[in-house]
């Protein structure tokens, strides 16, 4: 019995000594990781606010109670008198008027030896500027139905014919012998035809008192 006790004691002593140099590591014991406490999610309700309107205060009349609101009426009221503004009248300026009148006073026939022509027809024409503006480069041109060569006096011109003035021209064309001649007069200003006058036959136009004395003279229409 003593022998067994000694052996056990010896084994205990040996176990207390570090015979391995590095003590053996204990086997790892896996411990579960504590989980987080789950959060509690509560749905937040969507609250719609009712629209607000301005509060209208109304007076509820009480039976037997009357409220009188005084009305102020001015005792002295001035009525403004109307003011008249003078507006000057506009000056109406009339537009310029160009107007011409032609009067064939008469005609006759003659022999023109100076220009080596036989019978010629002479017409006495008065041109009147009845407009409100002057007519520059005013001309009168004589034509004939049986006209031959061009006569140098078939056209007469004036540098300027003032408004409300007139002038008388003697115009000549080469015409056939003893033939009824139809004549025509064109009045122009700056090469623009203003008026055209004609006569069916020169023999039907008689010239009383001979040729006019105021040929080429510019004179007022109403002296």
pLDDT at 116: 84
pLDDT at 73: 52
CATH number of 100-203: 2.60.40.10
Token pair, residue 47, equals 């609250």
Report the run of H or E that residue 6 belongs to, with start and end.
helix 2-16
Mind giving me the DSSP string for 117-160? -SEEEEEEEEEEE-SSS-EEEEEEEEEETT--SPPTTSEEEEEE
CA–CA separation, 110 and 154 (whole Å): 14
pLDDT at 148: 86
Block mean pLDDT (10 aa), the chain, length 223: 61 54 53 56 50 52 52 56 60 78 88 86 93 94 90 94 95 85 91 88 65 90 80
Q: Kindly report the backbone phi and psi dihedral angles of residue 126, in degrees, each rounded to the nearest multiple of 5, phi listed first.
A: -110, 125
pLDDT at 24: 54
């Amino acid at each position: 019995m003593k022998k067994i006790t000694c052996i056990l004691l010896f084994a205990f002593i040996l176990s207390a000594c570090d015979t391995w140099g590095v003590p053996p590591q204990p086997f790892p014991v896996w411990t579960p990781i504590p989980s987080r406490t789950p959060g509690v999610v509560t749905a937040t309700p969507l609250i719609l606010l009712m629209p607000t309107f301005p509060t209208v205060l109304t007076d509820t009349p009480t039976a037997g109670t009357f409220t009188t609101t005084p009305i102020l009426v001015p005792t002295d009221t001035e009525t403004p008198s109307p003011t008249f503004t003078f507006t000057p009248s506009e000056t109406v300026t009339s537009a310029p008027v160009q107007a011409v009148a032609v009067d064939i006073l008469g005609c006759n026939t003659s022999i023109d030896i100076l220009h080596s022509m036989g019978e010629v027809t002479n017409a006495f024409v008065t041109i009147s500027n009845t407009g409100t503006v002057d007519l520059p480069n005013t001309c009168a041109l004589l034509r004939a139905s049986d006209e031959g060569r061009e006569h140098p006096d078939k056209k007469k011109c004036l540098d300027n014919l003032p408004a409300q003035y007139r002038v008388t021209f003697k115009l000549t064309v080469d015409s056939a012998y003893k033939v009824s001649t139809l004549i025509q007069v064109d009045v122009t200003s700056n090469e623009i035809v203003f008026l055209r006058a004609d006569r069916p036959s020169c023999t039907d136009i008689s010239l009383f008192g001979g040729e006019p004395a105021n040929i080429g003279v510019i004179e007022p229409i109403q002296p």
